[in-house]
Structure 1
Amino acid sequence: MDTSKIKSLLGDKSEFYLNHSCKTIDKSLIHIPSPTLIDDVWIASDRNIQTLNSLQAILGHGRLANTGYVSILPVDQGIEHTAGASFAPNPLYFDPENIVKLAIEGGCNAVASTFGVLGSVARKYAHKIPFLVKLNHNELLSYPNTYNQIMFGTVKEAWNMGAVAVGATIYFGSQESRQQLIQVAEAFEYAHELGMATVLWCYLRNNAFKQDGVDYHEAADLTGQANHLGVTIKADIVKQKLPVNNGGFTAINFGKINQKMYTELTTEHPIDLCRYQVANSYMGRVGLINSGGESHGASDLKDAVVTAVVNKRAGGMGLISGRKAFQKSMKDGVELLNAIQDVYLDHEITIA
């Protein structure tokens, strides 16, 4: 897909997204993804050589190989959203092999899924595409449900199946978040010891984050702080939802703020809001990948491209998009993943 096709998908919002100039946090302060990301950023860290190898394995695979950007297929929704709800649109993906095939044919850098999914086909595929094993989940059979993430396996189990990375979720803001933080920090430390990269889903969960009919679970200030907590426990990559608003701290009248967070470091433009997420990820030293979100059918291709443009121009590292890809035919899923990747391959689309 060339720039003209991307512009066509963006429609009358093309100028809004592609020509925006960020005047909040200057791009010169951002560690922009590049082919030399390991040498530029991670070589100075305390990550051991095997962990750097694992990061490079992800960065060096798929259509975005050696660009510094990543496109990851995540399919843990069978647990997180129930298998029926997730795979009914395309029952093909009840079979784990088809999940891995979609990631390979879609040119992804890695495939992220559960112990069961990846373990069931590990001997056939772990050497063909980097495996990212999700360590914990919130399952939907415990009633009433709580905002908790339970470990479904061990770091060593992920290492034994040949995974190059482990992922985990912390529901920041929930009553259970502090225990999750301790568990995940310990797991990430062991993963690094074994030479695996770490990816943290820095999500928010608290009913109080909804005020006066406005949902602040995807507010730039709250998600930015969640990212900052995530990089503190040594996530190598943070996954976050694209911000849709701001002012979460002020709406719930909680936490500490400086007005410059809202008057100088952000605006209402989605690229500026995402730039604030990147800034909280150590100015991009830790890569920010935004999630693709749920499938809305006909608008999925446009929505995915918009998210990719915002992430890239903000200084992010890529997209991790699942339901928009696997809740349709394999052919259409590959097309959508490739469209996302095309944004990162397009040299005319640059950091704002």
Structure 2
Amino acid sequence: MNKTVELLGDKAEYLLSHTCKTIDKSTLHLPSPHTVEEVWVASDRNIPTLNSLQRLLGHGRLGGTGYVSILPVDQGIEHTAGASFAPNPIYFDPENIVRLAIEGGCNGVASTLGVLGAVARRYAHKIPFVVKINHNELLTYPNSYDQVLFGSVEQAWEMGAVAVGATIYFGSAESRRQLTEIAAAFEHAHDLGMATILWCYLRNNAFKKDGVDYHNAAD
């Protein structure tokens, strides 16, 4: 605990002593070794999807705890590979990204179709793959904030991925298209027995609170 306090620094007291007074803890589903049967079995997820969830939750150093640590590396498209990997050139090689996740004891590795597809035959059976199927790109000027599909659910399934992931920019001009697009993709992923992960960010200059611009703070 002393190490945790040291890492949190001047925020330790605020973060560790906070008591939530709006949501009773009895209403929460806490992480546990039985997360799938306690939370997901009662849902409409089919049995292959439940198996995929269990594989993700059961892998790595946190396996069987209900907690999940996933290594996400999709910056090669989001911010260009040069900007992302130049400080550590070995990560231009997709194999090193997956090896890092394995050596770190992660539950899974999340990356692009290209990165994971390049090494799927060697590693998909060694660590759960999460294929991010949509991405933003920051090469256009002025920058736009629009997640666009870069891969298909079928491609992720064929490489042995346990899950697909996607991002939606809530509040952006394109958010309604993103919502319907990803809802359809996730429905198809469940039909094929894959779990799904959604990453959500606010992208709208009008969203401000206490002087904080949540358009930019979402990163």
Q: TM-score interval w.r.t. the shorter chain?
A: over 0.9
Distance 2:210 2:8 in 1: 32
Q: CA deviation at 1:216?
A: 2.8
Paired letter, 2:90: L
Partner in structure 2 of residue 58 of structure 1: 56
Partner in structure 2 of residue 230 of structure 1: none
Distance 2:14 2:202 in 1: 28
Describe the SS at the equivalent of 1:82: helix
Which of 85, 103, 106 is matched with 2:104 structurally?
106
Q: CA deviation at 1:12?
A: 4.6
Partner in structure 2 of residue 208 of structure 1: 206
Which of 138, 145, 148 is matched with 1:140 structurally?
138
Partner in structure 1 of residue 46 of structure 2: 48
Paired letter, 1:99: I
- Are the aligned partners of 2:186 and 2:196 in contact in 1 as well (CA < 8 Å)? yes
Q: CA deviation at 1:7?
A: 2.4
Describe the SS at the equivalent of 1:69: coil
Distance 2:40 2:199 in 1: 20
Paired letter, 1:92: I
Query: What percentage of aligned pairs have identical amino acids?
Result: 75
- Are the aligned partners of 2:170 and 2:202 in contact in 1 as well (CA < 8 Å)? yes
Q: CA deviation at 1:57?
A: 0.6
- Are the aligned partners of 2:205 and 2:214 in contact in 1 as well (CA < 8 Å)? no
- Are the aligned partners of 2:203 and 2:214 in contact in 1 as well (CA < 8 Å)? no
Distance 1:105 1:28 in 2: 36
Does the alignment pair 1:23 with 2:27? no
Flag the structure with more relative contact order, 1 or 2, with Cα contacts below 8 A and sequence separation at least 6.
1
Distance 2:152 2:182 in 1: 11
Does the alignment pair 1:82 with 2:80? yes
User: Where does structure 1 lack aligned partners over 5 or more consecutive residues?
Assistant: 220-240, 242-292, 294-352
Deviations 1:186-228 (A, max 9, x none): 0000000000000011111112224785313488xxxxxxxxx
- Are the aligned partners of 2:138 and 2:144 in contact in 1 as well (CA < 8 Å)? no
Partner in structure 2 of residue 131 of structure 1: 129
Partner in structure 2 of residue 299 of structure 1: none
Partner in structure 2 of residue 14 of structure 1: 12
Paired letter, 1:18: L
Q: Alpha carbon RMSD of aligned pairs, Å?
A: 1.8
Kindly tell me the number of residue pairs found equivalent between the two proteins. Answer: 219
Partner in structure 1 of residue 2 of structure 2: 4
Describe the SS at the equivalent of 2:72: strand
